[in-house]
Amino acid sequence: MPNILVVGSMNMDIVTRVNRHPLPGETIHGLSTSFFSGGKGANQAVAAVRSGARVTMAGALGGDFFGNEISRLLLEDHINVNHVRKKNTMTGTAIITIDDSGENNIVLNKGANGIFMPEDLLDIDLSQYDAILMQNEIPWETNAFILEKAGALNTKTVFNPAPALTIKDKYFSMIDLLILNEIEASEMTNIPVKDPESASKSALRLIEKGVSEVIVTLGKQGAIYMNRKGSILKSSAYVVPTVDTTAAGDTFIGTFVSAYFNHDVASSLKYAAAAAAIAVTIEGSQNSIPYIKQVDAFIKETQDFMIDV
256/47 Cα distance (integer angstroms):
9
Q: What is the DSSP letter of 152?
A: T
Half-sphere exposure of 127 (CA within 13 A, CB side): 2
Count of residues in the chain: 309
Angle at 71 between CA 252 and CA 145, to 5 degrees: 65
Burial class (CB in 10 A: 0-12, 13-18, 19+), 107: exposed
d(CA 39, CA 73): 13
Q: If we measure between CA atoms, which residue out of 59, 96, 84, 38 comes closest to residue 251?
A: 38
Active-site residue among 250, 296, 304, 308? 250
Handedness of CA 4, 249, 115, 37 (dihedral sign): negative
Question: Which of 260, 288, 4 has its CA nearest to residue 131?
Answer: 4
* 250 carries an active-site annotation: yes
Interatomic CA distance for residues 87 and 84, integer angstroms: 10
What positions carry a catalytic annotation? 250
